[in-house]
Amino acid sequence: MESWFERRTFHHARFEDLDELRRAKETQGLTVSVCIPTLNEAATVGPIIDAVRRALVEDVPLVDELAIVDSASDDDTAGVAEAAGAVVFQDRDLVPDLPHLGGKGDAMWKSLFALRGDLVLWIDADVEDFHPRFVYGLLGPLLLDPGVEYVKGFYERPLRIGGETDPFGGGRVTELMARPLINAFWPDLAGIIQPLSGEYGGRRQLLERIPFFTGYAVELAMLIDILDASGLDAIAQVDLHRRTHRNRNIGDLSRMAYAILQGAAARLRGSGALAEDAFVGGDLSLFAKEDGSYRIRPMAVPIHERPPAASVSGYQARG
């Protein structure tokens, strides 16, 4: 792991020569798709798309396809995205012959059926201080090193509480759930600084061969599955400097952590490290205090798993 960390950890400044990346892309005959999964992100998605379009489509042609996969937003996310220059897909319209499951991971999985790029990147839609390095930083290792198949971003993650900001206080689910799980059960992945980061991507030929969880378990499970499919050296990580976004409340974080725990348990069962009949799942018991008494508030946190896209009938014809 330590050897991997030294060889496969980069800084975005290494890839600031966009013409070098363009030449590498053209020499290899590769195409690039950038996808933004969205749900009610009208306030932030426009500037993100505009920044990518201006810098990496118009100024230097690195990105061939810029799209969102929207999960039926009830604000103007789709209209804002289209006006900024993105192609808009609705997740319910993609792969309509299969049941709709919903969630970020499902939107990502479905994007493989809609997008055409040899390299596919996903970036979050709620980033407030977005910079094109979030895209070209991820592209750098993929374009310049044929041994890299998948890239994760990492960054400083400020946490805002009231009027105060802790510059390194974000990533609470990473530190309290994902990192302990990784160190305990998948120590080869322990050098990944932010396993749950929302900016990552890889080569289609890899992504189409792995399953996708539909919800918050998607990031951790992807790392585990890529480790199994291609080995640790196929993974790289890039320092993207800083990422500011809306911070979720503790209830949201609890549900996120529970989904991640369920996904990890599924992978442990699959490897034989956890008994097949071990029960992990069911509603998450949350609590609320009403009229001086505590009440149980069960919360469903279902996770579903999509099979590798390449195994789905019609995938090759769609692409």
Residue 27 three-state SS: helix
Q: Give the pLDDT confidence score for residue 59 in this predicted structure.
A: 98
Write out pLDDT tens, residues 71-96: 999 999 999 999 999 999 999 999 99
Is the separation of the CB atoms in 36 and 73 below 8 Å?
no
Q: Which residue has the tokens 């949201």?
A: 252
Contacts of 318 (CB under 8 A, 6+ apart): 113, 114
CA gap 214, 260 in Å, rounded: 11
Helices 250-271/218-230 angle, 10° precision: 30
What's the pTM value of the predicted model, to 2 decimals?
0.93
Architecture of domain 2-318: Alpha-Beta Complex (3.90)
Is the separation of the CB atoms in 164 and 77 below 8 Å?
no
Q: Give the pLDDT confidence score for residue 319 in this predicted structure.
A: 52
Ranges of residues in the chain with a pLDDT under 70 are 159-170, 245-248, 317-319
CA gap 45, 254 in Å, rounded: 26
CA gap 285, 254 in Å, rounded: 10
Q: Give the pLDDT confidence score for residue 183 in this predicted structure.
A: 97
Q: Which residue has the tokens 């305990």?
A: 184
Q: Give the pLDDT confidence score for residue 317 in this predicted structure.
A: 66
Contacts of 38 (CB under 8 A, 6+ apart): 45, 68, 69, 70, 71, 73, 77, 78, 81, 125
**Helices and strands, counts by H and E, the chain:** 12, 14
Is the separation of the CB atoms in 226 and 234 below 8 Å?
yes
Tokens of 296: 């149980």
CA gap 59, 52 in Å, rounded: 10
Torsional sign, CA 309, 310, 312, 316:
positive
Contacts of 299 (CB under 8 A, 6+ apart): 255, 283, 284, 285, 286
For the CA atoms of the chain, what is the radius of gyration?
19
Q: What angle do CA 189, 272, 301 make, to 5 degrees?
A: 70
Is the separation of the CB atoms in 12 and 240 below 8 Å?
yes
CA gap 39, 217 in Å, rounded: 17
- H/E/C letters for each residue in 201-267? EEEHHHHCCCCEECCCCHHHHHHHHHHHHHCHHHEEEEEEEECCCCCCCHHHHHHHHHHHHHHHHHH
